[in-house]
Structure 1
Amino acid sequence: MSRLRRMPPRQTRRRSYDQYCAAARALDAVGDRWTLLVVRELLGGPRRYTDLHADLPGVSTDVLASRLKDMERDGLATRRRLPPPSAASVYELTERGRGLLPVLAALSDWGAPELVERRPTDAVRAHWFAIPLLRALQAPGRVAVVEVRLDEGVFHLRLGDGAPSPYGDGPADAPDVRLTLDTDTRTALAAGALTLAEGVSAGQIKVEGDAALLGV
């Protein structure tokens, strides 16, 4: 008979704080590193795995795959196959996942003062500024598709129309308004240090299209 002792099964890491608290329950689902940034990307609409990996510089393929799997299990995201002729699969947020938009908006507001200076190691994508600018441009009753042109690239916002995706990467098909602004102006606008009207009046923001839709 073998003298080797049978090793106990390896225990998997628990993902719960085991606290009967709403904040703890929320962090059980989205508190892992990278999860909220994956949500940020998917708020722009369905994305392929390769697109997500490209726009999340620094995340490993294993970690990204693990986070997506966790998000599917927790009901935050789903994966579906695109119809022919495409053979790709995309990930998209569920209604519960889209409900994290106010959370990311609040985090963006809280973190805006840290954008005073860009560090040499900082990656950047234009659409990362969509959520803070959405907060800056949104207003009761305001409905418009706004294309935003920054030094880093182009994205578009969907204001007030109840669309599942509040923003999209790249130009809009038929924007109502187009805004062009530089890096410093974008940062000031997103941080609340500058209003849209002030930026337009000072010549820091170029507006094309129906400016009245944005109240300027």
Structure 2
Amino acid sequence: MPPRRRYDQYCSAARALDLVGDRWTLLIVRELLAGPRRYTDLHADLPGVSTDVLASRLKDMERDGLATRRRLPPPAAANVYELTPHGARLLPVLQALGEWGQAGLGERRPTDAVRAHWFALPLLRSLAGEGVVEVTLEEGTFHLRLGALDGPAYGDGPAPGEPDAHLAMDTATCTAVGRGELSVPDAVRARRITVTGDGPLARSLREE
């Protein structure tokens, strides 16, 4: 493989951008924070990326120790990509970047793609406690692992097993929560978020 382009600056920010500054790399990290993903799943959830660019970025991430590729055992028998512990430490970086970018999000444009699990990062900033929270929007369902110290911070689709709490809301409410315009307790009290579940986490969300 050709050598990566580098800034050649003795600065930690420049060193970080040597690894993640290329177009699409951080969005690939966003997808892999949800756990192991097949190449076809990554391509489907990164609308606009070409197959050549996605393959190139994944190879770079493997070479730089941000991601690994492994073969799932039968019956899946498919290759998946997943973050290394070093790559997973980019979670707070993406959360901070997303928080900084919320002000410029504005209204959704007709050409904007959207996936339900893209709302996971802003919701992680807005929810406290520990446990698995399943979230349902018009666009689909995803789940969060609050307080997780290892493994995926969130995942696409329903939670594996019984979640500690289930939140149902519309996309406008989820966006307002992510922007900091509306707190989760206020949204629950205003009946813009419906909380179901019998565990301590669900009860605390209803009682805050």
Fold-level similarity (TM above 0.5):
yes
Report the residue type matching 1:115 in the other structure: L
2:156 and 2:204 map into 1 onto residues whose CA distance is 21
Task: Indicate the residue corresponding to 1:5 in structure 2.
Answer: none
Task: Indicate the residue corresponding to 2:39 in structure 1.
Answer: 49
Unaligned segments of structure 1, at least 5 residues: 1-11
Q: Deviations 1:90-126 (Å, cap 9, x if unpaired)?
A: 0000000000000000011011122330001000000
TM (normalized to structure 1)?
Answer: 0.90
Unaligned segments of structure 2, at least 5 residues: none
- Secondary structure of the equivalent of 1:79? strand
* Pairing 1:75–2:65 present: yes
* Pairing 1:155–2:142 present: yes
Q: 1:96 to 1:14 in 2, by over 3 A?
A: closer
Task: Indicate the residue corresponding to 2:158 in structure 1.
Answer: 171
Is the deviation greater in 38-47 or in 112-121?
112-121
1:13: Cα distance to partner?
A: 6.5
1:194-213 map, 5 Å: 194-209=182-197, 210=199, 211-213=202-204
Task: Indicate the residue corresponding to 1:32 in structure 2.
Answer: 22
1:120 and 1:82 map into 2 onto residues whose CA distance is 38
1:108 and 1:78 map into 2 onto residues whose CA distance is 25
Q: Deviations 1:174-213 (Å, cap 9, x if unpaired)?
A: 1110001111111110111111110011111111014234
* Equivalent pair of 1:34/1:59 in contact (CA under 8 Å): yes
Q: Deviations 1:157-187 (Å, cap 9, x if unpaired)?
A: 0001324101010011211100011111111
1:156 and 1:114 map into 2 onto residues whose CA distance is 26
1:90-129 map, 5 Å: 90-129=80-119
Report the residue type matching 1:190 in the other structure: G
TM (normalized to structure 2)?
Answer: 0.93
Q: Deviations 1:4-49 (Å, cap 9, x if unpaired)?
A: xxxxxxxx57511000000000000000000000000000000000
2:187 and 2:143 map into 1 onto residues whose CA distance is 19
* Pairing 1:184–2:160 present: no
Task: Indicate the residue corresponding to 1:146 in structure 2.
Answer: 133
1:85 and 1:191 map into 2 onto residues whose CA distance is 42
* Equivalent pair of 1:115/1:187 in contact (CA under 8 Å): no
* Equivalent pair of 1:80/1:89 in contact (CA under 8 Å): yes
Report the residue type matching 2:90 in the other structure: L
- Secondary structure of the equivalent of 1:96? helix
1:14 and 1:41 map into 2 onto residues whose CA distance is 22
